[in-house]
Structure 1
Amino acid sequence: MQFLRRRVALEWYGLVHVGHLHDLTRVPSPYDPLHLPLSSSTVPKGGVIDVPCYEAQSFNGKTALLHATGALIPFDFATLTERDFDLVTGERGDEWTIQGVIAVDADWLVGVMEVTTSAPVPKTLGAEIDEVWYYITPMNTVPTVVAGQYVVLGLYR
């Protein structure tokens, strides 16, 4: 399994040939700053990027444990309104700033958002990716379905 994750991650970025995988000691994450530097000062106002798709392995009512599916979907930053852009590039509560983007299944997201917002005290929706916790929220204030079934989320820390 570890070998397959390395292979998929590296093939996404065209970093090495499959024959060289045995030399690697860690799996690069799509959110590793060496591969996808995304911060409040580097979010583009336009342009299309391929966003990795993730799915939940588990959800405890507040945090989803997510893993990459290997699929990529295109996201056009031009779909962000001026308000969306201001929210994405600004500081969120507790001084959290954007670290990266992922795509998740729209139906799954609706379900978990209902769980987190229906509690007597609404909970912050989070995701754990590669043992790192992020606050997650749709990039568009009016969530837009991309590629027929995905919503693109910002990852904040």
Structure 2
Amino acid sequence: MLKLAKLLRHRGFHITFVNTEFNHMRFLKSLGPYSLDGLPDFRFETIPEGLPESDENATQEVTLLCESFRSFLLLAPFRELVKLNEWGSGMEIHNNVKRDEVEMLVRELMEGEKGKKLKKKAKERKKLAENATDPHGSSSINLDNIVHQVLLRKN
């Protein structure tokens, strides 16, 4: 995200990063309280996530984390984000998980046809990503198009 932000900033855009309060505090704690001072062109905003301010290890408390997610996030969109099979990049494990079923799925993934197909797809996508992110690739071209046709368009 920082690379994209720098590219957009280089083209004259104002960038704002939005983090949860907890993650923002962790960021400042790990890099130092003045770590964002060297980035005057970027704004950093925070939003509440429902974790208590005082507890540095709030993410270690599973119950608290679950309650925070339930009360501050919409569950349906979150479920959509974590779907693996929509792009054919994962294998489904149902709610009632049994050890032998997991073993069978892992073996299929590592040695079976599904695993071979997933590896092939991963290699294809890696090659597509490499080509797209090349300086003259589709990502750079699309970014330029967005900047010129949408974001810098004069009304």
TM-score range for the pair, normalised by the shorter chain length:
under 0.3
When normalised by structure 1's length, the TM-score is 0.20
Larger RCO, structure (CA 8 Å, separation 6 or more): 1
Q: Which has the higher helix share?
A: 2
